Every structure is written in C-alpha cells, then in structure tokens.
Amino acid sequence: MRHALARGSLLVALVTLAFSQPVYTAPRDAKVDAKEKALVSHVSAGEQASIALLEQLVNVNSGTMNFAGVRQVADMLRPRFEALGFKVSWVDGTPFGRAGHLVATRAGRGPHVLLIGHLDTVFEPNHPFQRWERVDENIARGPGAADMKGGIVVALAALDALSQANLLDSLQLTVVLHGDEEDSGRPLDLARRDLIEAAKAADIAIALENAADNPKTAVTARRSSTGWIVKVEANSAHSSQIFAEDVGAGAAYELGRILNGFYQEVRGDALVTFNPGLIASSTQVDFEKQPLGATLSGKNNIIAPTAIASGDLRTLTVQQLEETRAKMRKVVAASLPHTSAQIEFTDSYPPMAPTEGNRKLLSMYDEVSRDLGFGAVTEVDPRNAGAADISFAADHVDMAIDGLGLLGGDSHTPEEFADLRTYPIQTQRLAVLLYRLGKK
C-alpha cells in the first residue's frame, strides 16, 4: 500500500501521474481489421455512459461486510449482463459468512473465457471515504473507482462492443464477480467453490484488477498468501533464575531464536517472503486470530512462559511453499533448553505460477496493444503482484492473465483514484483480445 498523500498535495500528485502516462498513436490500419475498427468505435461511443455507470456504482457503499450494499451493486449489474444475453444467478454467501457472488454465463461456439472481478471494496459504511469526486477531466476519486468497480465497467463495455458488432457468439463466457475479495469468507473452499468450478470448465481466465496501475504491464504470475502461527511454551520462574540449568531460556528468547532462524536460515529467494505481523510474549497472553490481536499481562521479574507470533508467507509456486514450510518447521524444532514450540500453517490464496500458457496470452495481448497503437505490454514482476482471485482459477485453465481493468492508484486508501484516460485503452484492448480469442 502506498502512503496516503497529504490532502493539499493530492491534486498536484494526481495530475503529475496522469500526465506521465505515455501518449499513444492511432491504430495501425494494416494490423486492425474492419471488425476491430468497429469495436474501437463502439467503445468510444459508449465511454461517457460507462463513466456515468461507474459513478453510480462507486456511490453505493459495498464494503465487504455491508451485505446489502454488495447485493445492491449486483442488482445494478444484473440487467446489464442480461441485456447482453447472459443468464445471471446470485450465489448466497450465508454458508461462508458473506453477502455472496454474482455469476453470469453465456453460451457460444468458441473458446470458454472466464472473466473475474469483485463487487466489494475495503471501505465499510462507517468510513468517511464514500463518494465519487471528479478531480478534473482525467481523474476521479472514489471507493472502488479503480479497485475494482472500474474493472467491471471495462468488462461490460468490452462485452457490449462485441455484442453491437454481433461477435459475442464466437465465445463461451462466464463472469464471476465475488462479494468478498477484500475480506474472504470462511471456509475459503466454500467462498471460492463457484470460481474454481467455473475455471475447471473454462479454457482462459482474464481478471479485471487494476494490478500495477501501469498500462505497459499485465500480470502473468502472482504469489500466494498463506499464514503461520508459532506458539511457544516454557518454564516460568523468578527472573533471577533465567538461564539456570533447571529453568531454561524462557518463551521470549525461544521465540526470538525462531524468528532469527527464519531470517538467517530460510530467507534467500527473492520471491519467498515471510513476515511476522504480530509478536507477543508475557506471563499471560490472550491471542485472537480474527481480528488479529493479543492482550498481555505480566511483570519484568517473571520469566515469560508463553510467546506467540503470527505472520504471512508468500511464494510463487506450490513447490516453493512446501519447501519453505519444511525449512520453517526445522527451525522451530531446534528448541532452547526447557522450551517447546509448534508452528501451524493456514492456507489462503494459492500462487498463480508463471506458465507458458500465461505468457502466450500476454503475447496476444501485447500484439493487440501494439496494433491499436497503445505500445508494448510486458509482465509485472511477481514480487510486485499481491494475491488475487485469479490464483484460484489459474491452475485449471490453459492461459490466465490479470490487470486488465481500469487503472489508477492509491487503492485501499482514502485517496484511491481512477485515471479515466486509461478507460479507452483498457476497454479497446480487452474487446479486441476477446474478438481474436474467438477467431482462434
């Protein structure tokens, strides 16, 4: 997350970023056929209506835990998908403690493409950041403007352009819009069951996140997001007796040894990271997983009998994940005198490993971008791509790519904005990519 900008400097910063975007040339006529030109025209004609829709969506609070707001956004989108010939259903989120998901399907004769997005934002109704604000001609602030109601609007506009050009039937299409991407429901296997099942039936997955907020990049690989907890128990006694043969090192030193062992012995691969987000040790520790926290009580003259650390672990592949977990278990097992420790791992978002199929899809997207005059597109460094819902689908399809939504910046902060000049870029590229996938 970027640091929030001071309010007084916001406008200058946004305008500077907006005008740092590259200037694009006109489409290369030799590379763009008549149908693709028609798609470009349809996108241009519908731009203002799409921006108006985005404003309406942003002005409905759909913080993950505002179930009514999430459903309201889904209700606003349902008739638009139905008008394009989709069958739309609502997946009730009660079994996993969330509002639910919107799923839309459309039959066709070509490859099966899965489009992935989310309805929710991080901003709940009690947050002061609630409304769309047009900063200038190019910049609009608002919760979810870029992350990622803007992505949903890009997808709808691309699909509408294909429909107006009578090209939608060349694809089988499934759209999954989650209501809990920003705070996933539990159990996670239920919360992501519909997405995984849709991916198993699909050939290609395309996600609509804003990703790196750079029109020169797209995402072909994402690291996982899993969790770990280390719990330590030790002898307790008067502090003057610490290190005595019959007393031992205490829980705090043992936890310190473990964390230092992770740093010294497990750290190394740039794409493998593990961060302790909470560390606690005292005479009494009351630990809570959700929301993460700990309440402590103790004295300096008592050797702490309890220590706990909670953190996350991120890897690019499942093999890296398993190897790293094994190394962490080995460190934990080498206890100091009169201490014992255990480590527990929890699964959350799996990795989206880099594959030849993903890079092939990026190559097609890059070619579309060049042909439309928008320049080259390269892959984002996975170190800079956080976990996202496409990771649940990537292993089940031949090709996957992310970052094709509306771009902007400062997501997850009260300064979140969309750069509206990226709307025609992203929408035209997506529409032409889908058309070319249908041709193949």
CA 30/CA 42 separation, integer angstroms: 20
- Give the model's pLDDT for residue 386: 81
What pLDDT, in 10s, does the model give residues 142-166? 999 999 999 999 999 999 999 999 9
Q: Which residues pair with 306 in a beta bridge?
A: 233, 282
Residue range(s) occupied by CATH 3.40.630.10 in the chain: 7-222+352-439
Residue range(s) occupied by CATH 3.30.70.360 in the chain: 225-349
CA 7/CA 22 separation, integer angstroms: 26
CATH number of 7-222+352-439: 3.40.630.10
Chain centroid offset of residue 364 CA:
23
Q: Which CATH class is domain 225-349?
A: alpha beta
The model's confidence at residue 251, banded by pLDDT at 50, 70 and 90, is very high
The model's confidence at residue 40, banded by pLDDT at 50, 70 and 90, is very high
Distance, first Cα to last Cα, the chain? 39
What pLDDT, in 10s, does the model give residues 5-17? 333 334 434 444 4
User: Which residues, including other chains, have CB under 8 Å from residue 291's CB and lie 6 or more apart?
Assistant: none
- Give the model's pLDDT for residue 409: 96
The model's confidence at residue 23, banded by pLDDT at 50, 70 and 90, is very low
Residue position matching structure tokens 């691309």: 158
* Mean pLDDT within 214-233: 97
* Mean pLDDT within 130-136: 97
Q: Which residues pair with 332 in a beta bridge?
A: none
Q: Which two tokens stand for residue 367?
A: 């070619």
Average pLDDT for the chain: 93
* Mean pLDDT within 37-61: 98
CA 111/CA 81 separation, integer angstroms: 19
Q: Which two tokens stand for residue 260?
A: 């230092």
Q: For residues 398-412, b (16+ Cβ closer than 10 Å) or e, as one string?
A: ebbbbbbbbbbbbbe
Q: Parallel, antiparallel, or unpaired: how do β-strands 204-207 and 399-401 relate?
A: parallel
What pLDDT, in 10s, does the model give residues 328-351? 999 999 999 999 999 999 999 999
Cβ–Cβ contacts within 10 Å for residue 289, how many? Answer: 11
Are 21 and 422 in contact by the 8 Å Cβ rule? The answer is yes
Q: Which two tokens stand for residue 245?
A: 């043969």
- Give the model's pLDDT for residue 206: 98
- Give the model's pLDDT for residue 435: 98
User: CA–CA distance from 199 to each of 101, 149, 205, 407 (Å)?
Assistant: 15, 22, 7, 25
Share of the chain above pLDDT 90, in %: 90
CA 182/CA 122 separation, integer angstroms: 6
Helix (H), strand (E), coil (C) string for the chain: CCCCCCHHHHHHHHHHHHHCCCCCCCCCHHHCCHHHHHHHHHHHHCHHHHHHHHHHHHCCCCECCCHHHHHHHHHHHHHHHHHCCCEEEEEECHHHCCCEEEEEEECCCCCEEEEEEECCECCCCCCCCCCCEECCCCEEECCCCCCCHHHHHHHHHHHHHHHHCCCHHHCEEEEEEECCCCCCCCCHHHHCHHHHHHHHHCCEEEECCCCCCCCCEEECCECCEEEEEEEEEECCCEHHHCCCCCCCCHHHHHHHHHHHHHHHHHCCCCCCEEEEEEEEEECEEEEECCCCEEEEECCCCECCCEEEEEEEEECCCHHHHHHHHHHHHHHHHCCCCCEEEEEEEEEEECCECCCHHHHHHHHHHHHHHHHCCCCCCEECCHHHCCCCCHHHHHCCCCEEEECCCCCEECCCCCCCEEECCHHHHHHHHHHHHHHHHHHC
User: Which residues, including other chains, have CB under 8 Å from residue 393's CB and lie 6 or more apart?
Assistant: 114, 116, 195, 196, 198, 199, 202, 205, 400
What pLDDT, in 10s, does the model give residues 274-307? 999 999 999 999 999 888 999 999 999 999 999 9
- Give the model's pLDDT for residue 387: 86
* Mean pLDDT within 159-182: 98
Q: Which two tokens stand for residue 360?
A: 């092939």
pLDDT over 70 (residue 246): yes
